[in-house]
Amino acid sequence: MNIIMRKTIEQLQKQTAQYAIEHITGKGMHTGIAWFSDSFNELCEAMGANEFDSEDIGFELDDLVENLKKAPWVADIAGKPADQCTTEDIDRIVNDFICEYWLMQPEEVTTKDVADVLKVADPISKRHLIGQKVAIDCIHALNDAELHRLDGILRDLEKNPDYGKSKGLCR
């Protein structure tokens, strides 16, 4: 990584932390979620962490993220190395998650559907690691309740690059 790119990433890290703090505290010039979301996505892009394009996911991303919150066991399966993922794991994702929340029949579920769910649910994704870095950068400025709120927002941003945009929120 060259010096110019490193400086840009460092600047984006500081900016993202600042926007996160302003959003959580409601104090500052950049309190809207869109500022924080855009900066986080820009940082992820600069660090090469965008592992999927939200346009390529076969599910409505907001719905998928909300349903993943109801089924945290999916993240456990998504975090397994591919060679340790069993057919029982895949069957559980198909039957107990996709068919349950999207009212599909098992024969209608494609391998792409399963792959999309696993991509978004991955607990060790690069976007998640960047989210953890942002949270660490904000520790000094936020109290416990604010850090807890930030953690929830970061989890949504990590899984959904469009978080905040679909809610009609703007800068």
| pTM of the full structure | 0.73
Q: What is the pLDDT along the chain (171 residues), one digit of tens a residue?
A: 566 666 699 999 999 999 999 999 999 999 999 999 999 999 998 988 877 777 889 999 889 999 999 999 999 999 888 788 899 999 999 999 999 999 999 999 999 999 999 999 987 788 888 999 999 999 999 999 999 999 999 999 988 888 877 544 444
- 28 Rama class: left (phi>0) / alpha (psi -120 to 50) / beta: left
CA distance 79 to 125: 9
